[in-house]
């Protein structure tokens, strides 16, 4: 399974307040102490593209000049990244910072 990078997942988890369900608890990211990333049980979820698309309403992800672009359809927010997972994750981060998405309590 492809997921967004460690730093993006951690930042989004801290901003979002998204509660984890049973499926999400299995897919976690944690550093292994050598700069590598391991997927298993950890401190915060590893966000895959499907999960992100379900959580962010009105988003489009497209291949753009060798990279991936994620756009929010009701705001001017848009980001470019090397993978579709990172593009969607970074977009969600920007939407939380801009107040378009609200933290879930």
What angle, 0 to 180 degrees and rounded to 10, lies between the N-to-C axes of helices 6-16 and 84-98?
30
Least confident segment among 12-16, 57-61, 67-71, 100-104 = 100-104
* pLDDT of residue 95 exceeding 80: yes
pLDDT of residue 6: 82
Whether 52 maps to a domain, the answer reads: yes
Which CATH number covers residue 76? Answer: 3.30.2120
- Specify the pTM: 0.79
Whether 84 maps to a domain, the answer reads: yes
pLDDT tens string 57-87:
899 999 988 999 999 998 888 999 999 999 9
Q: Which residues form the domain of 87?
A: 6-98
Q: Which residue has the higher pLDDT, 17 or 28?
A: 17
Count of structural domains, the chain: 1
> Alpha-carbon distance 80 to 69, whole Å?
4
* pLDDT of residue 34 exceeding 70: no
């Amino acid at each position: 399974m492809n997921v967004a990078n460690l730093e993006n997942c951690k930042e989004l988890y801290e901003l979002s307040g998204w509660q984890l369900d049973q499926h999400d608890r299995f897919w976690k990211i944690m550093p292994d102490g050598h700069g590598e990333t391991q997927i298993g049980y950890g401190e915060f979820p590893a966000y895959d593209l499907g999960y992100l698309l379900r959580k962010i309403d009105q988003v489009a992800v497209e291949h753009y000049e060798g990279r991936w672009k994620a756009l929010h359809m009701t705001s001017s927010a848009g980001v470019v990244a090397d993978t579709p997972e990172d593009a969607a994750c970074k977009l969600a981060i920007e939407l939380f910072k801009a107040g378009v998405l609200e933290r879930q309590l």
